[in-house]
Amino acid sequence: MAVLRVVIDQAKDVVDPDQADAARGLLHGLGATAPQRCTIEAIVPAGAESEPPAGADTLRRLALGRRELGAAWQLGVVAGVGGGMIHAPSLFAPLTKHDKVNDYDQTVATVWDLRPWTAPEQLPRAGVLWQRAMMKRAVKYADAVVVPTHEMAERLGGLVKLRDRIRVIPGAVAPGFAIPHDASERRVALGAPARYLVATGRAETLEPVFAAAVAADADAFVLDAADDAAPSIAERAVAAGLDAPRVHVLSRRDAEDRAALLGGALGFVASDPAPAWPWRLVEALALGVPVIARNGGVHADVLADGGLLVEPDGYAEAVQQAAGEGARRLSVLAADRSRAYSWEGAAERVWALHADL
């Protein structure tokens, strides 16, 4: 009987909610698509629940907590983990020397964001250093490294020497992500008016989005803003003609708030085509929200024909379409495109990857 061992590093201490959701979603998908005579073991840090998480058949709880485990694995100290087929839904992986030929050991890691290499100034320094150190270990020891888009695969191939070990397996929304029953109340609590856009991006990419909101007589909500980004984002909004009370800068919100806000929006605008999986864009697709994205980068890969790919000077026209006669068509396109992304589909590719290795 084959056992696929999946690292669930955020089973207790969640430091990146999107990647934690992705790990749980993938584990659930793996359980739903497991081939005959294949089982799944979850590898978790100390302090996690004593029962296997949904999708896993068994559990291996390690002796170290997540923080200590991350430091140990960065140094290559992986005692107690064991061998076999190991799949890590992030770079948090036991990357060390192993024998794939004789012992059938194999280790696969995953990268969701290339900014530690392409734009390190946008991220906390400690996280950048850890990611880079783990990538060095992946280059040396991983049997494959998974990225979610072809554009990211091409860029990663130019950054590190992984050659033919890069694989593309897209992500999806968290299991159960949907507009909550109290969506109206949540929108009121967030200060949402009747007409508003939801956007993501950095201050310097958002100014034309704010100008489009002015043209559409709509407020603008910015999701996932850094804690210190609100003043610069508000400054850009005012420069674009959007009155300060009509721009709402939000840090990380829970899934219910995000779904409620997206569900009532005229449209969603992704203004920064960074080399990272666009979590909010995929959530908007799943809810059938009209999507407008800055052309280029991962957006062309992920959105394809599921929305409007535009240059910054095209936001205003695109928003007018989303807010007017094009709304229904764009909603249908978004919902259709969202079917390309499911954790069951990702899991089937993971099973195939490990079989190929």
- Residue 211 is classified by DSSP as H
- Domain spanning 2-172+342-356, CATH class: alpha beta
pLDDT tops 80 at residue 115: yes
User: With contact defined as beta carbons under 8 Å apart, do 82 and 66 qualify?
Assistant: no
- Residue 327 is classified by DSSP as H
User: With contact defined as beta carbons under 8 Å apart, do 146 and 165 qualify?
Assistant: no
pLDDT tops 90 at residue 159: yes
- pLDDT score, position 88: 98
Q: Quickly tell me which residue has 């969603």 as its tokens.
A: 268
Distance, in Å, from the CA atom of 102 to the CA atom of 120, rounded to the nearest integer, reads: 39
Residue 129 token pair: 């250093």
Residue 302 token pair: 């992920």
- For 66-75, the CB contacts below 8 A with 24+ separation are 66/9, 66/10, 66/12, 66/13, 66/15, 67/13, 69/9, 69/45, 70/9, 70/130, 73/134, 73/137, 74/130, 74/133, 74/134, 74/137
- pLDDT score, position 290: 98
pLDDT in tens, 171-224: 999 999 999 999 999 999 999 999 999 999 999 999 999 999 999 999 999 999
User: With contact defined as beta carbons under 8 Å apart, do 265 and 219 qualify?
Assistant: no
pLDDT in tens, 49-96: 889 999 999 999 999 999 999 999 999 999 889 999 999 999 999 999
Distance, in Å, from the CA atom of 296 to the CA atom of 311, rounded to the nearest integer, reads: 9
- pLDDT score, position 58: 96
Band (pLDDT 50/70/90 cuts) for residue 253 is very high
Task: Kindly compute the dihedral angle of the four CA atoms of residues 111, 160, 108, 116, in this order, to the nearest 10 degrees.
Answer: -30
pLDDT in tens, 275-334: 999 999 999 999 999 999 999 889 999 999 999 999 999 999 999 999 999 999 999 999
pLDDT tops 80 at residue 103: no
Same topology, domains 2-172+342-356 and 183-338? Answer is yes
Amino acid identity, position 266: L
- pLDDT score, position 104: 85
Strand pairing partners for 85? 4, 106
**What is the rounded average pLDDT for all residues in the chain?**
96
Residue 305 token pair: 């024909």
Distance, in Å, from the CA atom of 142 to the CA atom of 48, rounded to the nearest integer, reads: 26
User: With contact defined as beta carbons under 8 Å apart, do 134 and 76 qualify?
Assistant: no
* Domain positions in the chain: 2-172+342-356, 183-338
**What share of the chain in percent tops pLDDT 70?**
100
- pLDDT score, position 295: 95
- pLDDT score, position 43: 97
Q: From the options 3.30.1330.40, 3.40.50.300, 3.40.50.2000, 3.30.420.40, give the CATH code of 183-338.
A: 3.40.50.2000
Residue 8 CA to its chain's centroid (Å): 16
